[in-house]
Structure 1
Amino acid sequence: MSGSEDVNETTTEVFEQSLSASQEQHYILRLYVSGTTLQSVTALQNIKKICEEHLQGRYELEVIDIYQQRETLISENIVAVPTLIKRLPMPLQKMIGNLSNTEKVLIGLNLLPKK
């Protein structure tokens, strides 16, 4: 085996370990909604579907209705709803809208690489 093959195997092993580590990460998500508007209901349905398909058993999803908890708008700097905040794993990420573009949501959750 040449020295470059050793490096390639090590690099591959590191990559595979980081992939499996990212698959084991626990996600903490908050979805801010405005009551039961169409956009809010759609966003909730979309993120639940994405989480069950890609993060099954590895996520917590907290849904916050801004009409019931107005103070959180200021503390979380929410400017539009629905807004999804990925608190963990870092880095913090915010996504605004009904989350219907699954690919963009997966990229925002760091489950797909950016193109």
Structure 2
Amino acid sequence: MSEQNVSKPLPDLPTDKSEFWILRLYVAGHAMRSLTAIANLQALCEEHLPDRYHIEVIDVIEDPERASTDQILALPTLIRALPPPVRKIIGDLSNTERVLVGLEIAQHSH
């Protein structure tokens, strides 16, 4: 699994960048936890951030330098790049409430 975009192509960012979310998910190949994290993140974004997100999946097996740059110590790890501040969540993202709180999505929804 190489780096792939699992959401719609990255559109022009709106002038109010706090309304658009860029999320980076670091995974390890096709491991079950990796696939679960991808599916959970897609479902969460479709429900809480429809048409306002971009997901970038980075496979650390194929791009270990990228994981080092972002200081990834465990997998899977989700990074919220936009809106600031940067946030990190480790795990398969199955606890939706924890993910919403960790990413502060509830504060930004609609």
TM-score interval for Structure 1 and Structure 2 normalised by the shorter chain: 0.7 to 0.9
SS at match of 1:98: coil
The percentage of aligned residue pairs carrying the same residue is: 48
Rounded to whole Å, the distance in 2 between the matches of 1:95 and 1:111 is 13
Counterpart position of 1:49: 43
Higher relative contact order (CA 8 A, sep 6+): 2
Counterpart position of 2:30: 36
Rounded to whole Å, the distance in 1 between the matches of 2:88 and 2:56 is 14
Counterpart position of 1:69: 63
- Residues 50-72 of structure 1 show CA distances to partners (whole Å, capped at 9, x for unaligned) of 00001010001000000110101
Rounded to whole Å, the distance in 1 between the matches of 2:68 and 2:93 is 22
Cα RMSD (Å)? 1.6
Greater Rg by CA: 1
Q: When you count helix as a share of all residues, which structure comes out higher?
A: 1
| One-letter code aligned to 1:53 | E
Rounded to whole Å, the distance in 2 between the matches of 1:65 and 1:56 is 25
Q: Deviation of residue 112 (structure 1)?
A: 2.5
Structure 2, unaligned runs of 5 or more: 1-15
Rounded to whole Å, the distance in 2 between the matches of 1:58 and 1:102 is 18
Rounded to whole Å, the distance in 2 between the matches of 1:109 and 1:79 is 18
